[in-house]
Amino acid sequence: MLHFKKKEQVHTDEIFAPVTGQVIELSTVSDPVFAQKMMGEGFAIMPDADESAVVAPVSGEVIIAQGHAFGIRRDDGLEFLVHVGIDTVALKGAPFKVHVKQGKQVVSGEKIITVDWSQIEAAQLDKTVMVLITNSKTNLAALNVDYQHVSLGDLLGKASAKA
């Protein structure tokens, strides 16, 4: 009988770019809920490529998979929410295709959703992608992000959980 071992995930504090674009301060986004960090600490990326893939910025368990947004709980308990665009929930999922199910383990860089950016532009909505740590008030020790241009999957910073 064959026994397949599950891949061991090695913990890392590294955060990778879910999309290509310019990393910006969360406080500069046009939606006050994100800008005022009501949903947690984080950063945003102004996408500037036509890539349709949005990938996992960290490894962990998918806890939300809704198209315009997905969440991943890292093994240290930090919960990351990636929200694609501002007010894109109003599009009722039209420009999004989800490739994972809630409860699945993913690795950083794995494709989570694809998005048709042209539909977001046609609806005259903001394409900014927010990456939030929703339990940052209780679980985040430090967040360090390089505010620079990144390509899909590039290392852009680190987040460490409280011990």
Q: How far apart are CA 24 and CA 88, in angstroms?
A: 19
Confidence grade of residue 116 (pLDDT, cut at 50, 70, 90): very high
- Are 57 and 131 contacting, i.e. CB atoms less than 8 angstroms apart? yes
> Which tokens hold the place of 14?
């590294």
DSSP string, 76-98: TS-EEEEEEEESGGGGTTTTEEE
Q: How far apart are CA 12 and CA 69, in angstroms?
A: 23
pLDDT in tens, 11-66: 789 999 999 999 999 999 999 999 999 999 999 999 997 889 999 999 999 999 99
Q: What does the domain layout of the chain look like in residue ranges?
A: 23-161
83 a catalytic residue: yes
Q: Which CATH code fits 23-161?
A: 2.70.70.10
Q: Which of 3, 11, 83, 149 is catalytic?
A: 83
List the 21-25 sheet strands across, edge first. 105-106, 60-65, 69-73, 79-86, 126-133, 41-47, 21-25, 149-150
Task: State the pTM of this model.
Answer: 0.92
